[in-house]
Amino acid sequence: MTIRNASRRGVVIRWMTVVVVLVAIALTPALISTVRGQGSNPAQTQNFRDQARYMISDLADQVIPSIVTIYVKEELSQQQKEQLKQFQRFFDRRGMDPFFRQFFDDGGGDNDDNDQSPQPSPRIKIPDRLRSGSGIILSDDGLIITNAHVLGQLNGNTDVRVVFSDNEEISGKDIKLVANQDFLDLAIIKVNTSKLKTKLQPIKWGDSDKLRIGEMVATVGSPLDLRMTVTQGIVCAKFRNIDDAYGLGDLIQTDAVINPGSSGGALVNMDGEMVGINRLITTNTGMWSGYGFAIPSNDARDFADKVLKTGKAVYGYIGVGMKNEITADDRKAIGIDPETKGILVENVTPNGPAEKAGIQAYDFITQVGDKPFAANKQNDINNELLRQVMRHNPGDKVGVTVLRGGGRAKPEQKEFTITVGTRPTQEELRKLMGMQPEMRPTPEARTEGREMLGLTLEPYSKDGVRGLRITAIKPDSPAAEQRLQPGDVITQVNREPVQSVSDLNKAIKDRPKDVPNLIQFLRDGKPNIAVVPQE
């Protein structure tokens, strides 16, 4: 019974298989015809090719009208001109390469190179300093954003000219500086639109936080004075901090070509939205070496919004200089564990918020506010503090936790409350740090002190500053490795003021042999720190 039923089921399955095969054979010509018809549609194929071929072209058409070229002509100072004139006596115009000859005036008549008649000394032509960059139109009433370093320090000897994509241009008194924040490397100017024939086309803002690694982007600017150049690449990385780049980090890294003159131009996504402002390149040659970096659009937009609402961009500031690299000797000198995240204070701005609160050089900041630092690389941690502080408004109170130590004792944790100040410009900050007199060697008679830590020292007292000036450094000593220089004035050793060699001896004599010394010194009036191991 069971065998007979199984046999019947096998017959049914065989017949069903035959039917399916016959139906498939019957329908195959129709299916092939349909597939061929869809795949061979010339109009659809051409449309797809055009979309791929002209994707960047359409993007360029959309963005280029929002980009400008900025020329800044700056007259050299009298001192710079005098320095250039000192070179004229070293040159003979005869036989000089034509490229270099253009910078000289022969003083009377053009003589051939073979002419052996006496020639007067050439007079060097003093050219004005000319630089160019890019800018981005933010509004139809004339607001343009660019990098602060493109404009530089505008003064009465500076001439700015803006050239638009249609070659219209404007200059002189028709351009006004609205805001300049060198810490962000951003500036805004406004042009007199009544002098222009064409209505300005503002760029569209994009959200830089939504950028993805590998996303296609393009740059538009005027590299090497090649106006309205478009390059294409991808987002290679986000939140990049460049060690030798001043100011706020968290830059967007791209392989779209950026060269001198691209600064201030736009980094845009494939929707034509500005997601960054081109800022710098990393290079060994001065030209593009594969990667460029842009300021995120959200940082730029926050800056622009503040300027439009209040007329200026105000950011919080506490006035501490931070060491970019914390070495094992640094940690050993102040007793900080290798795993402890934080910021080593290199100097404090005189009379600044941090100094008024009690923060000192060599303090190790472990926390600002309620949150410990999340980043891992030291430069990223420093940048994290900058962002935390800049989010505060002047007058806000912010708690700071530090470890203060050095020597045998375990570092002591201290809590401070800092009243946030207003971030000064870099020029203002230089003046603040320059309140100390310059510490350069003077021709006065020297009384050499004994050699300690590889240093030969002499007492120094001038303009209210007292300390020990370095007159010589022993080669290959720990001090030499820390790049201390003759002329530096040491003011503190291991947190103790030093005004004599005996003060220095007292400050280091009880120091354990395996614990480096904390050195505070002045160089050209600026406070610095160094960690010098025992000899």
Distance in angstroms (rounded) separating the CA atoms of residues 369 and 54: 51
Please pick, among 66, 132, 134, 149, the residue that the annotation labels catalytic.
Answer: 149
**Per the domain annotation, does 307 fall within a domain?**
no
**Per the domain annotation, does 236 fall within a domain?**
yes
Band the pLDDT of 13: cuts 50, 70, 90.
low
Task: Report whether pLDDT(368) > 60.
Answer: yes
Same domain, 347 and 271: no
296 vs 96: which has the higher pLDDT:
296
CB atoms within 10 A of CB 91: 15
Residue 443, both tokens? 């021709």
CATH code at 284?
2.40.10.10
Task: Report whether pLDDT(148) > 70.
Answer: yes
* pLDDT, tens only, 157-208: 678 999 999 999 999 899 999 998 888 889 999 999 999 998 999 999 999 9
Distance in angstroms (rounded) separating the CA atoms of residues 505 and 498: 9
Torsion of Cα atoms, 413 then 419 then 422 then 428, to 10°: -60
Band the pLDDT of 381: cuts 50, 70, 90.
confident
Name the domain boundary from 237, 271, 299: 299
In the prediction, which pLDDT does 14 show? 65
**Per the domain annotation, does 139 fall within a domain?**
no
State yes or no: is 185 an active-site residue. Answer: yes
Global confidence as pTM: 0.64
Name the domain boundary from 241, 274, 299: 299
State yes or no: is 149 an active-site residue. Answer: yes
Query: For residue 406, which amino acid is it?
Result: G
The total number of structural domains that make up the chain: 3
Domain residue limits at 266? 204-299
215 vs 29: which has the higher pLDDT:
215
Same domain, 493 and 524: yes
Band the pLDDT of 63: cuts 50, 70, 90.
very high
**Per the domain annotation, does 335 fall within a domain?**
yes
Same domain, 502 and 473: yes
**Per the domain annotation, does 129 fall within a domain?**
no
Specify the residue for token string 């130590």. 405
Name the domain boundary from 433, 461, 476: 433
Same domain, 398 and 462: no
CATH code at 481?
2.30.42.10
- Minimal CA–CA distance to 492: which of 521, 470, 465? 521
Band the pLDDT of 441: cuts 50, 70, 90.
very low
Same domain, 320 and 427: yes
* pLDDT, tens only, 394-408: 899 999 999 998 766
Per DSSP bridges, beta strands 175-181 and 292-296 are unpaired
* pLDDT, tens only, 24-39: 555 555 555 554 555 5
Distance in angstroms (rounded) separating the CA atoms of residues 206 and 501: 61
Residues 6+ apart with CB under 8 A from 220: 60, 63, 64, 67, 134, 228, 229, 230, 265, 266, 268
Task: Report whether pLDDT(125) > 70.
Answer: no
Same domain, 427 and 337: yes
Query: For residue 363, which amino acid is it?
Result: D
Same domain, 288 and 333: no
**Per the domain annotation, does 490 fall within a domain?**
yes
**Per the domain annotation, does 477 fall within a domain?**
yes
Distance in angstroms (rounded) separating the CA atoms of residues 134 and 144: 10
Please pick, among 165, 263, 329, 488, the residue that the annotation labels catalytic.
Answer: 263
Same domain, 331 and 289: no
In the prediction, which pLDDT does 76 show? 61
Please pick, among 132, 165, 174, 185, the residue that the annotation labels catalytic.
Answer: 185
* pLDDT, tens only, 446-494: 334 445 677 888 888 877 788 888 888 877 777 777 778 888 889 888 8
